[in-house]
């Protein structure tokens, strides 16, 4: 039987894997994994409608994860405490050769008794706060659930349901905004972490850069929502911000006399040198060549 975990993972590499314990039904899938990674690899993890929690038995020095691609960059973190991946989020993971032992559980709140009667606004959580959560009470609950998974005892299902309920309510206490409705919480603006994500994606791009859909997906929003929230947050449209970022990048690149004007145009996302020249002149009152020569970087 394929587990919920395996359905959520994409592109797992060859490995030596031992499943030390498992509890599952329609509402949850709880597992203890003992893995020796035989090769470096990477994967994406999408828990869909499930809430995913993981607790390492020891610091996973060889595992990196984050909500942006290439987690081994400055955005990646190793795991030594609780990891939460909310429903609808996508976690990127990379690892090197090494050993890892973890306890993890996926559960769907709508199927867990009383929990289904509460509103759970996962979009209110700042994803940067879900990696290495420091919460001793939640950690103790997860450790007790791990003991039950390794050696199920009397009324195991009742104990499991009760522990998951306590864990869910502790998440709600740890993240108070989980209980706020979208109308109550949403002030029509982006979170600071979302603005930072957009800046990094736009400013680090080469060529045409990310599409509106890609930017919206990175913020877990619809394209129209992103455009409206960005304008409310920054005072400029997303299109204006992208255009300004391209011109700023061009100013920097034009200092490099080894780059042709058409090369700068391509790097900054313009279709051709003529379009680049028109946009640059509109923004600076100078052509790219005039800007370069005025800075003492004339080409002979």
Average pLDDT estimate for 11-25: 79
User: In this structure, is residue 13 part of a structural domain?
Assistant: yes
* pLDDT value for 185: 52
Given the structure tokens 């990477």, which residue do they identify?
42
Question: In which order are the strands placed within the sheet that holds 15-24?
Answer: 15-24, 28-37, 98-107, 51-56, 82-85, 131-133
List the domain range (segments joined by +) for residue 245.
192-294
Token pair listed for 261: 């004007």
| Residue 267: pLDDT band with limits 50, 70, 90 | very high
Mean pLDDT of the chain: 85
Dist. CA 239–CA 183, nearest whole Å: 27
Residue 199 has pLDDT above 50, yes or no: yes
Residues 116 and 234 grouped into a single domain: no
Which residue, among 239, 298, 249, has the nearest Cα to 276 in the 3D structure?
Answer: 249
Residue 94 has pLDDT above 90, yes or no: no
Structural domains of the chain, count? 2
Which residue, among 215, 171, 172, has the nearest Cα to 190 in the 3D structure?
Answer: 215
Residues 119 and 218 grouped into a single domain: no
Dist. CA 65–CA 82, nearest whole Å: 13
Q: Are 288 and 276 in contact (CB under 8 A)?
A: yes
Q: Are 71 and 94 in contact (CB under 8 A)?
A: yes
CATH number at residue 211: 1.10.10.60
Percent of the chain with pLDDT over 90: 42
**Stated length of the chain:** 300
User: In this structure, is residue 300 part of a structural domain?
Assistant: no
Residue 20 has pLDDT above 60, yes or no: yes
Strand partners, 102: 33, 56
CA 68, 70, 76, 79 dihedral sign is: positive
Average pLDDT estimate for 177-197: 73
| Residue 61: pLDDT band with limits 50, 70, 90 | confident
Residues 158 and 112 grouped into a single domain: yes
**Of 146, 162, 185, at which residue does a domain stop?**
185
Q: Are 165 and 116 in contact (CB under 8 A)?
A: no
Token pair listed for 165: 């309920």
| Residue 298: pLDDT band with limits 50, 70, 90 | very low
3-class SS of residue 249: helix
Average pLDDT estimate for 146-154: 95
Average pLDDT estimate for 27-39: 91
Residues 42 and 165 grouped into a single domain: yes
Percent of the chain with pLDDT over 70: 88
């Amino acid at each position: 039987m394929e587990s919920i975990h395996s359905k959520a993972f994409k592109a797992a590499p060859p490995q030596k894997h031992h499943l030390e314990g498992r509890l599952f039904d329609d509402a949850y899938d709880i597992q203890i994994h003992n893995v020796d990674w035989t090769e470096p690899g990477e994967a994406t993890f999408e828990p869909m409608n499930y809430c995913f929690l993981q607790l390492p038995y020891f610091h996973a020095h060889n595992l990196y994860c984050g909500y942006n691609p290439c987690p081994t960059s400055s955005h990646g973190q190793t795991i030594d405490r609780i990891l939460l991946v909310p429903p609808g989020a996508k976690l990127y993971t990379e690892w090197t050769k090494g050993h890892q032992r973890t306890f993890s559980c996926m559960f769907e709140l709508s199927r867990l008794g009383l929990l289904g009667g509460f509103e759970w606004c996962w979009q209110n959580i700042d994803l940067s706060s879900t990696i290495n959560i420091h919460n001793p009470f939640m950690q103790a609950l997860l450790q007790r659930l791990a003991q039950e998974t390794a050696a199920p005892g009397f009324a195991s299902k009742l104990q499991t349901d009760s522990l998951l309920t306590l864990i869910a309510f502790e998440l709600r206490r740890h993240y108070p905004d989980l209980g706020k409705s979208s109308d109550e919480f949403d002030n029509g603006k982006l979170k600071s972490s979302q603005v930072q994500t957009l800046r990094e994606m736009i400013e680090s791009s080469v060529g045409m850069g990310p599409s509106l859909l890609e930017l919206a997906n990175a913020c877990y929003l619809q394209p129209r929502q992103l455009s409206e929230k960005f304008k409310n947050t920054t005072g400029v449209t997303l299109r204006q911000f992208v255009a300004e970022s391209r011109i700023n990048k061009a100013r920097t690149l034009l200092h490099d006399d080894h780059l042709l004007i058409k090369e700068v145009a391509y790097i900054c996302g313009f279709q051709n040198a003529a379009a680049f020249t028109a946009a640059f002149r509109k923004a600076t009152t100078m052509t790219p060549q005039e800007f370069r020569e005025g800075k003492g970087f004339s080409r002979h």
